[in-house]
Structure 1
Amino acid sequence: MSQTLAPLAAAPDHLLAGRTVLQIVPDLQSGGAERATVEMAEALAQVGARCLVASRGGRMVSELQSKGGVWTPFPAATKNPVAMALNSLRLARIIREEGVDIVHARSRAPAWVAYYATRRTGAKLVTTYHSAYDGASPIKLRYNAIMASGDVVIAISEFAAQRIRRLHPEAADRVVVIPRGADLRFFSPLAVSPARVERLRVEWGLAAHERVVLLPARLAARKGHAVTIEAVKRLAEEGADDIRVLFVGDPHSDSFRRALEAQIARAGVGDLVRIVGHCEDMPAAYLAAAVIIAPSTEPEAFGRVAIEAQAMGAPVIVSDIGASPEIVLAPPQTPPQQATGWRVPPGDAGRLAAAIREALTMTASMRDEMMLRARDNVQSRFSIEHMQHATLEVYRRLLQR
């Protein structure tokens, strides 16, 4: 069973004040694990603890530092076994020199490094299961098992927790479910000026009448870009020429980007689908869109896009796999008048096209009602404050042992 966590107020702050927590993550470029790293650095600073982040760095370093975290340059992304062994010795030295009490690992290669470093030094180890690691072979299963080897193992959804218990039953009594959270100060329609939205639409070259279908995700096969192109082809055949589908995110590889561009050309939807790259102002991007889609073709441990879109009151369509059913309330499990979005079968271009069509044809009152339900869903279940407080409680419990 998952542990139930007490609220922050139930434990005195002095248990963490003056303590040092080191988070280790491959880089600070973009992504859910990286975002959570920065958010926990902020929470630790607020209770008087010191937070180090061992990483090779990236565009989020300045934000980390502005929120009280300390970046420690570290080659955490390497998967070379020899380099990882040397990294373990190097990390152990940092733990001793900096007086680190807890190491929090958020990815597999860094977790292997952290495991041996904490065993050498006596520091506590927390791991967060950020992905739905597959375990398709015994070797892969063994490599993935490190994410279930922490003194506490954080699952970011019930789906992830069930997966950990099934693949790594020895860790069942160390699993704590702490969903990811959205910063409702940042992801709020009231916090975004119309000028920000208009600036982004101009940057993307959009006409006033064009409606945006936004897919915000790293360009990778499992994120559903290919099925989206097929869905757009169907919509175009029906005469939907006023939509613009934007792929927002860094490419996983240049070859995959070229493959997407070729598919867009073959489908004849080059006028409708664009790859626009990284976006710095995601709250404005959500407001600039008529509908947000996250049509992943493989199960995911959470759905950060889905909670951010709901927090902004934007209609959202997700694949009905992984943790998405926990995040987006949708028929048939939820009555239409209580729905916060749509869930469609993964890889089904026809159902995805139908959901996009339905979202685009909502009346203004229907959209407003869904917006209120969606934001309330995030406020009550997926706030950043709950994620921060629950994780701080994990740290406190470890220090009390």
Structure 2
Amino acid sequence: MDPHPESPVVLQVLPSLVTGGVERGTVEITQAIAAAGATALVASAGGPLVAQIQRAGGTHIALPLKTKNPWRIWHNADALAAVIRDRKVSLVHARSRGPAWSAWLACRRTGVPFITTYHGTYDESLPFKRHYNAVMARGRIVIAASHYIAELVQTRYGVDPARIRVIPRGVDLAVFDPASVTGQRIAKLAAQWRVPDDARIIVLPGRLTAWKGHRVLLDALAILNRPDVMCVFLGSDQGRHRYSQSLTQHARQLGIAERLRLVGHTDDVPAALCLADVVVHASTKPEAFGRVVIEAQAMACPVVAADLGGPVETVRHGETGWRVPPGDPATLAAALRVALDLSPEERTALGQQARASVPTVQAMQEATLDVYESVLNGTV
């Protein structure tokens, strides 16, 4: 991003900075803005990742943006308009719907360019949901996390393709590098998860919610019928204790409860992926991108992914992983058998191809800064 007169000031807005792909992307773009010599502001309700925003060279502005209340959204628009004027903001980048409405209103009042990143597929089953979601398609430029999302935005809202930029999320290959993970880190996780030394480990990363396909994997594990295989659900239930309990009960009914581990959140995802023999993405609804898939590929770990949404674009079937029909335990079990039976040479070759194919954080940062520069220079 070339210097703008008086150096550009970019404001990113999102609900909070707790955890998740949106939040991590915000930190990564904050780092890129600061490295380019511009001013990086982030407005949110706060959270543990505020410290990472500050370490990345950004400034956090605490606002109660984690809301869907229309009155509060309107009030937040006033607050954001004041921030835009006081901080001489050049451009606003909205990353979530509630804050995006406030930011869009604030940009209309101040004349500052408004862009969005369309991160999710966004359910439209309830009345007025399409209208609520539509703000994410109102950016001067709409950044889509995948070609799947770009097509969705065009179909739902009739957005001109010239206004859409496909910028996949990226992996930091220095962090997600199998060569950098020590045996001590792997052994520590193995002990925490209570997995035997000789176990083969299948990991499904992601928060515990029904559409992530945990039951599908349990059914596949029962079909696989391999006593040496352990199944690890890596992610928080975020208070969905009934769902967690239902998974344990389902495993018990299938006779595989002793081979299931619900381990919650981990701060050492690279080590978790190194410990895995196979990583599974089993979502039954399409995902905008699927960051866990490319993180596993970066760690040269075999991946079996549901054949829908973003992972279709990042997993080449039989070359960098396998794709299976969503919600199909039998086909998933068959793919898991193939992945588990790879020879060391086959596993190495697949891992090398997968790691070489993943989109990187650097590419995502550079493409996003190019969008900012185009908007600030008035070329779009």
**TM-score normalised according to structure 1 size:** 0.90
The reply on whether 1:370 has 2:350 as its aligned counterpart is yes
Tell me the SS of whatever aligns to 2:253. Answer: helix
Residue 312 to residue 192, structure 1, CA distance change in 2 (3 Å): same
The reply on whether 1:358 has 2:338 as its aligned counterpart is yes
Residue 174 to residue 195, structure 1, CA distance change in 2 (3 Å): same
In the alignment, what sits opposite 1:386? 363
Identity percentage of aligned residues: 43
Deviates more, 1:185-194 or 1:386-395: 185-194
In the alignment, what sits opposite 1:298? 285
The reply on whether 1:268 has 2:248 as its aligned counterpart is no
Please tell me whether the aligned partners of residues 92 and 118 of structure 1 are also in contact (alpha carbons under 8 angstroms).
yes
The reply on whether 1:322 has 2:313 as its aligned counterpart is no
Deviations 1:338-384 (Å, cap 9, x if unpaired)? x1001000000111111111111111000000011101111xxx111
Residue 50 to residue 355, structure 1, CA distance change in 2 (3 Å): same
Whole-angstrom CA distance in 1 between matches of 2:106 and 2:133: 18
Counterpart code for 2:24: R
Task: Report the aligned-residue RMSD.
Answer: 1.6
Residue 138 to residue 156, structure 1, CA distance change in 2 (3 Å): same
In the alignment, what sits opposite 2:39? 50
Whole-angstrom CA distance in 1 between matches of 2:292 and 2:315: 11
Tell me the SS of whatever aligns to 2:323. Answer: strand
Select which of 250, 272, 275 maps to 2:236.
Answer: 250
Residue 344 to residue 363, structure 1, CA distance change in 2 (3 Å): same
**TM-score normalised according to structure 2 size:** 0.95
In the alignment, what sits opposite 2:377? 400
Residue 37 to residue 209, structure 1, CA distance change in 2 (3 Å): same
Deviations 1:240-297 (Å, cap 9, x if unpaired)? 1122111111214333223323323333321111111111011111101000001110
The reply on whether 1:217 has 2:194 as its aligned counterpart is no
Whole-angstrom CA distance in 2 between matches of 1:144 and 1:360: 41
Select which of 340, 347, 361 maps to 2:320.
Answer: 340
Residue 16 to residue 164, structure 1, CA distance change in 2 (3 Å): farther
Select which of 45, 63, 83 maps to 2:72.
Answer: 83
Matching of residues 1-400 of structure 1 within 5 Å: 13-15=2-4, 18-136=7-125, 139-235=128-224, 238=225, 240-252=226-238, 253-330=240-317, 336=318, 339-378=319-358, 382-400=359-377
Q: CA deviation at 1:101?
A: 1.2
Tell me the SS of whatever aligns to 1:103. Answer: strand
Please tell me whether the aligned partners of residues 53 and 69 of structure 1 are also in contact (alpha carbons under 8 angstroms).
yes
Please tell me whether the aligned partners of residues 10 and 92 of structure 2 are also in contact (alpha carbons under 8 angstroms).
yes
Runs of 4+ deviating beyond 6 Å: none
Deviates more, 1:137-146 or 1:191-200: 137-146
Whole-angstrom CA distance in 2 between matches of 1:129 and 1:28: 18
Q: CA deviation at 1:138?
A: 6.0
Counterpart code for 1:177: V
Q: CA deviation at 1:137?
A: 5.7
**How many residue pairs align between the two structures?**
377
Q: CA deviation at 1:95?
A: 1.4
Residue 170 to residue 340, structure 1, CA distance change in 2 (3 Å): closer
